[in-house]
Amino acid sequence: MSLKREGKLTSSTDHLRDTQAARPPRTSNWLAFVSFAAVIAAQAYAILTSPADADMGHLQKIMYVHVPAAWMTFLSFFVVLVFSVRYLWRRQENDDLIAASAAEVGATFNGLTLMLGMIWGRPAWGVWWVWDARLTSTLVLFLIFVGYLALRAFTEDAQQKAQWSAAVGAIGALNVPIVYMSVKWWRTLHQPPSSPETLDPAYTLGLRINAIAMLLVLIYFIRRRYEIARLERAVEHMAEAAAMGGG
């Protein structure tokens, strides 16, 4: 059985036997171990070796978690965009499941980014929150993907759920460039984007390795969530087939 056939979203029961036979593979735990160990090592390196910043002092160390979390948010929603468009084009069930998995993980990183930004903002700016372009657009992005997940949770029909969420996911992900460019387009309290190009070399390596470690966690989370989504969908297909009396 080809993956293509297995992933096809149809209302018939033709593929149900295939789905039952195709036991979704289990994501190996070594990736979880490696990714979490990498985060511990990267954070330890950055905390212990980076010097105090001239303006912010040691508060700068929050950058090693805040910036990678923001990058993982953008990356997750880019995956949502790609697989949502692919779903709308090809109508393959697997594309919908990958997009949904990336959306859930992305919303988690988006929430983390917002919380870390508030924790950094309080001592740096004297306030937890300001309705600044970067913060507001990041919050809007978060709310769009919370809406995306709510839409999936409350829509029963699998095909309708996939179509609507692909549309919301594709449109929602278009907010990512607005979030990224907000500090350039508008005058904001938030500093310009931190990247290895804009940073003092003393902080570059720490940021890079923390971003790579967080990327491993992101890959593990999306793979694991996708595996679970496939299992859940296989169970739904089998239940549907049993209800229809198919064997």
Considering beta carbons, is residue 51 or 177 the nearer one to another protein? Answer: 51
36 binds another protein (CB under 8 A): yes
Identify which range of 150-158, 166-174, 188-196, 232-240 contacts another protein by CB under 8 A: 232-240
Size of the site for another protein (CB under 8 A): 42
14 binds another protein (CB under 8 A): no
- Gap between the Cα atoms of 29 and 24, Å rounded: 15
Considering beta carbons, is residue 3 or 239 the nearer one to another protein? Answer: 239
3-state secondary structure of 89: helix
- Gap between the Cα atoms of 225 and 100, Å rounded: 9
- Gap between the Cα atoms of 85 and 11, Å rounded: 21
Contact pick of 9, 39, 42, 103 for another protein (by CB under 8 A): 39
Considering beta carbons, is residue 43 or 92 the nearer one to another protein? Answer: 43
244 binds another protein (CB under 8 A): no
Contact pick of 123, 177, 192, 196 for another protein (by CB under 8 A): 123
CA distances to 29, 31, 212, 218 from 223, in Å: 11, 10, 17, 8
3-state secondary structure of 57: strand
Interface characters, 74-113, with another protein (x: CB under 8 A): -------------------------------x--x--xx-
3-state secondary structure of 52: coil
119 binds another protein (CB under 8 A): yes
- Gap between the Cα atoms of 1 and 23, Å rounded: 12
CB of 173 to another protein, least distance (A): 20
228 binds another protein (CB under 8 A): yes
Identify which range of 58-66, 80-88, 141-149, 171-179 contacts another protein by CB under 8 A: 58-66
234 binds another protein (CB under 8 A): yes
Q: Which amino acid is it at 128?
A: W
As a 3-state breakdown, the chain gives helix, strand, coil percent values, each rounded to 5, of 75, 0, 20
- The token pair at 29 is 């735990």
Find out whether 93 and 9 touch, Cβ atoms under 8 Å. Answer: yes
Q: Which residues, other chains included, contact 146 with Cβ-Cβ below 8 Å and sequence gap of 6+?
A: 107
Closest CA to 217 of 71, 83, 100, 114: 71
Per-residue DSSP letter, 133: H
Considering beta carbons, is residue 30 or 197 the nearer one to another protein? Answer: 30
Binding residues for another protein, rule: CB under 8 A, are 20, 23-24, 26, 32, 36, 39, 43, 52, 57-59, 61-62, 65-66, 69, 105, 108, 111-112, 115-116, 119-120, 122-123, 217, 221, 224-225, 227-228, 231-232, 234-235, 238-239, 241-242, 247
